[in-house]
Chains A and B, each alone.
Chain A
Amino acid sequence: MSSEERLFRFSKPAWLSSVQARNAGVYLAGGLFSLAFYILLDSAVWSASPRNASPLHVNFVDWLPFVFSSLGMLIINSVEKSRLASDSFSYSGSGVAWKARVVLFLGFAALAGGMAGGVTVFVLKFVVPGVGMPALGMGVENVVANALVGVSTVVLWVSQNMEDEYAYNLAL
């Protein structure tokens, strides 16, 4: 993309499309997903430890939103990004962009459903019965973990789009 054809007054900084930046973005996405997983694992381990004096415990219902969030992340980042733009790639059949958009919609629905499920578990299991703070942390950790999966998905998506522009520059 030449500087004459740009839309905004501030140009994109040069380091943003470099190889190091997109590699760092992929590492960061892995770290954020790991953080999400271990925050949720922390709530489960704390629930089984002697420090949990409340009758509430983490069971499969608390893990279910995280399962859906991770599934959504897997689907979203499995889609080939260059197929979204147009149908010009004729060798894989017609309507590839339409199919890719449907799969992408399913992925985003699973991600948003996981996020909403985390909030639902937090409200129905912890806020409505009026649970106190040390046990309330288990619900807060559930919401934070699902939000971190969403952030990790966004970081990975942006890094892979950087990769596409980089490949395009090299191909030219």
Chain B
Amino acid sequence: MPTAGLKTIIALSFVLALGFLLVILSCALYSKYHPLLVVATYVLAPVPNWICSHCANPDDFVESSGAAILDLGRFCTGFLVVMGIALPVVLAHSGIIATAAAVMSIVGGLLIYGTIISFGQFFQEEQEF
């Protein structure tokens, strides 16, 4: 993986802005502000992983209690990621938001989450060396 240059940061911030634009558009066009929950979900999604990786002792392979809390964090992260896709679908199925708004908020949320993940990977790669 190449190191994070200036172009990478510019491209990531552009994609992040595009994602926020799509989510806010899906709210404001229909004046129903439920899809904003998607942003909160995707911002919260890496938090369990982060907390549990600080709690655990990954060198402790014999007792494997360190791996258990890491798995708990991964489980919660997987839960939150799928929640970001499932929440607009649930809202659209019951007619609370329009179908187009659901599609826009899902695409925007995935762009936001992809930005967060790739930014974190670039950052972690710098930190290791």
Q: Which residues of A contact B (CB under 8 A)?
A: 23, 26-35, 37-39, 41-42, 45-46, 48-51, 80, 82, 156, 159-160, 163-164, 167, 170-171
Contact = CB atoms under 8 A, between A and B. Distances in A.
A52 to B, nearest CB: 9
A163 B78 contact: no
B1 interface: no
A38 B90 contact: yes
Given A29-B75, A29-B78, A163-B67, 4 more contacts: A33-B78, A35-B86, A45-B90, A49-B94
Contacts, number: 83
B71 A26 contact: yes
Pick the most buried of B64, B77, B81: most chain A CB atoms within 10 A of its CB: B64
- Dominant secondary structure of chain B at its interface with chain A: helix
A33 B94 contact: no
Interface residues of B, number: 24
A33 B79 CA distance: 7
Given A34-B83, A41-B90, A160-B71, A50 B78 contact: no
Contact of A31 (B61, B79, B89, B96): B79
Interface of B: 61-62, 64, 67, 71, 74-83, 86-87, 89-91, 93-96
B82 A35 contact: yes
A30 B95 contact: no
B50 to A, nearest CB: 15
